[in-house]
Amino acid sequence: MRLWSMDMDDAALVASLRDAPDFDATMALLTPSADVKQLLPSLGVLLGESLHPFLCTVVAKEVQQAAETPSIELFRANSPGMRLLSEFSYLVGDAYFRSVLLAPLETLYDSSESYEVNETVPLDALSANQSRLEATAQAILDSLLAAECPAPLARVCLAFRHCVATTFHTYTDAALGGFLFLRVLCPAVVVPAKAHLFPGRPMPPIARRATVLVAKLLQNLANNVLFGAKEEYMTPFNGFIRKNYAAVVALYDRICTSATASEHAPYTLPTAMSYATALEVVKRERVKSAPVNKTELLLAQSTEPTVLMSAPIDRSSHTSHRQSNVRDRTSQFTRSFGTFVQRSSNFFMTSRGEGSSTRATETARHRPLPWRDVKAHMGSLNATDVRPRHSQYIDWIQRSIAYLVKASAENEDMLSWRPLKQKHGVQLWTRDVHAITEVRASVVVRSGKKACFSYLCSSRGRKTWGQGWNYEREVELVDHTTRVLYKSTNGSSRLWSFSADQDIALLESAGYDADRPATLVFQSVYRSDVPPVQGCARVELRASGFVLRAEGPTETRLSVIYRFDTGQQAGWTKHALAIARVKLDLESSV
């Protein structure tokens, strides 16, 4: 199935991009896997003066989607259209954002003084930290108020104001604040490389935390939202918001007024991309936009995977069980981590579509059974419906990897995370997304990525980060990277985080690639051959796991994210803190 006639000549292709009603052909290029850094300059070359009308169409679609889908918050969804608009802002506003951010962020980079203002700061240091933080935010704001917004960026801001006013009949200031601050300025504060600042220069830990706090303060100012009980440690800055909001509103008006004055002036993107290269980029993106069933494509391939997991999960535990004939039945479905990741950018994890260990209709049908009966029943599903079941597992794994790699990245939107607790030298962060609570922690380990990955997959490593589960049994081996496990605390509650015996059925997948983040991911999975056990409470995890990134030949950034239904009390926070023991064990063995 093809989106366009793939044999059309170049002239017809460009004409379809410019002339299709509502830019349908061009909008079709905005897929989840679209490379907007390449796509945007190519469209600038090929569309010419039609670029701005196209961007206005993207704006209108984003606003309309937010109006039609209550679960989608405008500017907070990482949609392809919003990513394109953000990239456009950085491209046309390169000098603008550099002039606004360079001096204040240079001060942060060079500072050895803390900007932390949460409850962990001693009272005698808190006032000075608050003053430094507010002074930095004020310096950025003053630079922004004094700078002249580039005309192309101002016209996109005006398009947002018009669309929001037409659709919602209000909230235009919040709309401009959401776009200019949430999507453009604040991400550049947290990740200065977006504004081409400090390339290749690592951000000191003090500066990293300070930029998150500064961005949080600026975002609340942009939205005119005072800090409350949820972030009580930030309430001393409500005076900063009250004092500066009128100036911010005046900034929005000034930007839109300047856009009106230049509304019909043509502009070109600052790019050196050639016409031929632009055509090649668009042709490549058209292939991505074809509606191919990626899961079926994976299952249909008959070649061996090109990247094999170099450190298979240690299966030597006496509690693990392997079906000896599973590999023969499933070898045709064997897939590597490398294959998953190459396609995973087409999937984005939401609260829908994830695996679950319980279903309402099935739970009523499966009352808790004695452990003896459950143990005898495990694995009885393995010989039936292999293809559709493994197809679903592959899809879940793709989604999990794509989401966790993004959520654990250094340039992830830290404004949505709030500090939870600090213990054993590890800072925990948390956020709630669509009734799912996420807990995140990261450490830098003085050990190579491959050694860290091998450790996590080994029996020793699993005992370190998975303490509390003192019974583990393999229910099904899917392939050399993936399996279904049953775990139980089995009387260990007094030693660990659970208040009663609990169990879980997990889909687990591990994969290593030298050039990409390595992952060990797991999530709850429903299996009719793993019914509830009498005396055990069945708990659930959404897509969770470890992500490893090399930070040099001898250092690895190890991140862990646990995701679970909000309100579930299953001790996952303590499991996240186990990353401190992982770091200690790895570095003591170097």
Report the run of H or E that residue 63 belongs to, with start and end: helix 51-68
Tell me, what's the pLDDT at 501?
81
Fill in the DSSP letter of residue 590: -
Amino acid 38: pLDDT: 92
Q: Which of 581, 565, 390, 344 is nearest to 484 (CA)?
A: 390
Task: Give the integer Cα–Cα distance in Å for 8 and 13.
Answer: 6
Report the pLDDT value the prediction gives residue 412, as an integer from 0 to 100. 58
Per-residue model confidence (pLDDT) at position 55: 94
pLDDT at 317 over 70: no
pLDDT score at 361? 42
Radius of gyration of the chain, Cα coordinates, nearest whole angstrom: 26
d(CA 351, CA 432): 11
What pLDDT, on the 0 to 100 scale, is given for residue 174? Answer: 77
Structure tokens at 114: 């803390």
Average pLDDT of the chain, as a whole number: 80
Query: Which tokens belong to 415?
Result: 């404004």
Q: What is the mean pLDDT of residues 457-466?
A: 89
Tell me which of 336 and 169 has the higher pLDDT: 169
Give the pLDDT confidence score for residue 75 in this predicted structure.
66
Rounded distance between C-alpha atoms, residue 484 and residue 474, angstroms:
6
Of the segments 140-154, 264-278, 330-344, which one has the largest average pLDDT value? 140-154
356 has a pLDDT exceeding 50: no
| Least-confidence region, from 228-232, 406-410, 493-497 | 493-497
pLDDT band at 250 (very low <50, low <70, confident <90, very high): very high
Q: What does the alpha-carbon distance between residue 486 and residue 501 come to, in Å, rounded to a whole number?
A: 14
- Look at residue 77 in the predicted model and tell me its pLDDT: 65
Q: Are strands 518-524 and 537-538 parallel, antiparallel or unpaired?
A: unpaired
Contacts for 396 with CB less than 8 Å, ≥ 6 apart: 353, 354, 355, 507, 523, 525, 543
Structure tokens at 290: 């074809």
What are 1-7's contacts with CB under 8 Å, separation 24+? 1/290, 1/291, 1/292, 2/290, 3/28, 3/286, 3/289, 3/290, 3/291, 4/286, 6/286
Q: Which residues pair with 550 in a beta bridge?
A: 556
Domains in the chain with CATH codes = 10-285 (1.10.506.10), 321-588 (3.30.530.20)
Averaged over 89-97, what is the pLDDT?
94
Question: Model confidence at 486, in pLDDT bands (50, 70, 90)?
Answer: very high
pLDDT value, residue 290: 60
pLDDT digits (tens, 9 = 90+) for 103-123: 999 999 999 999 999 878 888
Region 551-574: what's the mean pLDDT? Answer: 86
Mean pLDDT of 120-142: 92
How many C-alpha atoms does 121 have within 13 Å on its Cβ side?
Answer: 16
If pLDDT is split at 50, 70 and 90, which confidence band does 235 have?
A: very high
Residue 59 has pLDDT above 60, yes or no: yes
pLDDT of residue 411: 62
Residue 288 clears pLDDT 90, i.e. is over it: no
**Contact yes or no for 218/140 (Cβ under 8 A):** yes
Lowest mean pLDDT among 362-371, 388-397, 573-582: 362-371
What's the pLDDT score for residue 141? 96
Helix (H, G, I), strand (E, B) or coil at 428: strand
Question: What percent of the chain has a predicted confidence (pLDDT) above 90?
Answer: 39
Q: 191-204: per-residue pLDDT in tens?
A: 898 888 988 888 88
Hey, is 240 helix, strand or coil? helix
pLDDT at 415: 67
pLDDT in tens, 136-181: 999 999 999 999 999 999 999 999 998 888 887 666 777 788 889 9
Mean pLDDT of the region 553-574: 86
Which of 67-71, 156-160, 377-381 comes out lowest in average pLDDT? 67-71
pLDDT tens digits, residue range 489-512?
875 443 334 446 889 999 999 988
